[in-house]
Structure 1
Amino acid sequence: MSPTISPNPSTGEVPTGLNLAGVELIAAPMAGGTTTTALVQAAHKAGALGFLAAGYKTTGSMLAEILTLKTSGTRFGVNVFVPESTSPDEAELAKYRELLVPYASALGVEVPEARLTDDDGWAAKIAALTQEPVEFVSFTFGLPSALEVDALHAVGSALIGTVTNVEEALAAVDLPIVAAGAIHNRASLDLVLNAGACAGQIGTAPLRAAAAAQNNAEGLNLWAGEAWQYARSGTVAEILARFQG
């Protein structure tokens, strides 16, 4: 997936607020508790740009993290999940839920009932981001409406969408590109920069540091998936330095 900057739908112009100030490396937002304020702060101190993950969080939790980072003087962005318009297959979802029951039981917890209309607090999060603006807002699983884009642009946020197929890539061909996926060392970062990307985004590399910070080494495999071998040991600062050296 490659994020790309969204133009203002009213003017068709890319906002001049997209100013990475020489930053070539972005620490990806990883939902589910992986990305913490400490990780984003560490990325900032290491010369990268970190993104908070608003996905799977309440609006209040998102705002608390935003205020923590603003108070610390950290430069950052926020990623928000866009509600999907398709309806899930209820029967398949029920089967999947049953598969999780033994694992939940082993941990002493219960699998919650399926929520077929859960939009992850979308409207409340967008409203909160207009009231407590951040420099960058990125989106996963879709794009905001024109009205929502206008509202976020009005408070000075640069917006970043996610390109996931050829059609979307063609639509974004004239926009600044942040490349993501399979960037695991300086050489792979240079490849995307030399191809025209304004920055590269990494998620897997600092996962060991994130897991260690949360005392959850087993979480590494859940978060990293098939790319777990690209997770690096060391502090966030040490890991990011390998990309920037």
Structure 2
Amino acid sequence: MSAPSLTSFSAYPIVQAPMAGGAANPRLATAVAAAGGLGFLAAGYKTPEAMYEEIRQLRDQSTHPFGVNLFMPQPRATDPSAVAVYAEQLAGEEAWYGTPLGDPEAGADDAYDAKVAILLEDPVPMVSFTFGCPSQKVLEAFRKAGTYTVVTATSVPEALAAQWAGADAVCVQGVEAGGHQGTHRDDPQLDNAGTGLLALLPQVREQVGLPLIAAGGLMRGGQIAAVLAAGADAAQLGTAFLVCPESGADPLHKRALTDPVFTRTELTRAFSGRPARTLVNRFVREHGPYAPPGYPQVHHLTAPLRKAAAAGGDPQGMALWAGQGHRLAREVSAGRLMELLIEELHAAREAGA
């Protein structure tokens, strides 16, 4: 059975990014799909049961196609002593927020096998993968189930690996993207060596024959037109949808995206042990230079601190994931944002023609 076309999933080539941590929820995905885009749910950090419940809710609200994103299991390559040293450094944060650090050994596979089993038993239209590439066996099983598969890649070799394994499409992520870099292998020697989207996209297009979804810093319809012209079949936006009322992001996080207090973004390991782009706040400045490579151990370690900071109304201790274009965020509904993006896309195409 041949896979459907990527462009058949939505009226417009606009994908709402699967932002883990609560931002991407059934309400946001429903609103995006109703306006002609492709909505996504994020299974990362959720239990298999919670993932299934969100899928059920989305199906109750919408008949449009949608996607679910999975995190790949991570290798056990972290030095426990380095994580322990980082935990000692965070002792002051424990005292400040009045909460103990989390257990760094709370799990490294994000219940991947259980989530795959659920999605194969009760298939969804699309499944994407981050932090690695599934096996040929898994991708073939999804193909037989009628599910379209997408693998996130941050380099040409990663995109080629996805094609070789049998993915239906590749999400090409530029270094401008907010949140985690979806690298297949976390190599500290490559920190800050990522490639910008408009430089990476044509390189992947020349060597990979699969449909491409472009992601990284996209906030306007003109940028969507640019990546489509550069070889993408669709554009994925995350930060642009983060401030919408339908988004499940914390209100402090939403306000911070356009708050002049936060002047720039940075790739940091401070919150999770993996490079992720966030607004630079006190936590990043004080702990980023010392955070070890150690995902998801560091993520589990800092989770209670981040939760306590949010509960206490302190954005200086939160992970404020944001793409480089965050200042272009528009506080409008997801449906209205889709209308604006579509208008800008059409205008850019007409100007180009």
Considering the TM-score relative to the shorter chain, is it more than 0.5?
Answer: yes
Unpaired runs of 5+ residues, structure 1, are: 1-12
Q: Hey, what does 1:58 align to over in structure 2?
A: 47
- 1:183 corresponds, among 218, 221, 224, to 218
Q: Equivalent residue of 2:41, what SS? A: strand
Say if 2:241 and 2:334, in contact at 8 Å, map to a contact too: yes
| Paired residue total | 233
Structure 2 CA distance for aligned equivalents of residues 238 and 21 of structure 1: 17
Q: 1:192 aligns with which of 224, 227, 251?
A: 227
Q: Deviations over 1:50-75 (max 9, x none)?
A: 11000000000000000111122242
Aligned CA RMSD, in angstroms, stands at 2.4
Conserved 8 A contact 1:208-1:231: yes
Q: 2:15 aligns with which of 26, 33, 39?
A: 26
Query: 1:5 aligns to what?
Result: none
Deviation (angstroms), 1:191: 0.5
SS of equivalent to 1:128? helix
Letter in 2 for 1:187: G
Partner of 1:7: none
1:16 maps to 4
Q: Which residue among 159, 162, 168 is the counterpart of 2:158?
A: 168
Matched to 1:64, the amino acid is E
Contact kept in structure 2, 1:32 and 1:55, CA below 8 Å: yes
Question: Greater relative contact order (Cα 8 A, min sep 6): structure 1 or 2?
Answer: 1
1:189-223 CA-to-partner distances (Å, cap 9, x unmatched) read 00011222111000011111258755522365512
Percent identity of equivalent pairs: 36
Q: Which moved more, 1:180-189 or 1:94-103?
A: 94-103
The equivalent of 1:10 in structure 2 is none
Tell me the secondary structure at the aligned position of residue 178 of structure 1: strand
Look up the match of 1:244: 342
Shift of 1:106: 4.4
Q: Distance in 2 between matches of 1:216 and 1:107?
A: 19
Cα displacement string for residues 83-133 of structure 1 (whole angstroms, at most 9, x for unaligned residues): 122511222222334455544554454321111752000000000001121
1:152 counterpart letter in structure 2:
F
Partner SS, residue 120 of structure 1: coil
Take 1:91 and 1:14, find their aligned partners in 2: how far apart are those partners? 49
Taking the TM superposition and a 5 Å limit, the aligned residue runs for 1:221-240 are 221=279, 222-224=320-322, 226-240=324-338
TM-score normalised according to structure 2 size: 0.60
* Long gaps (5+) in structure 2: 164-207, 257-278, 280-319, 344-353
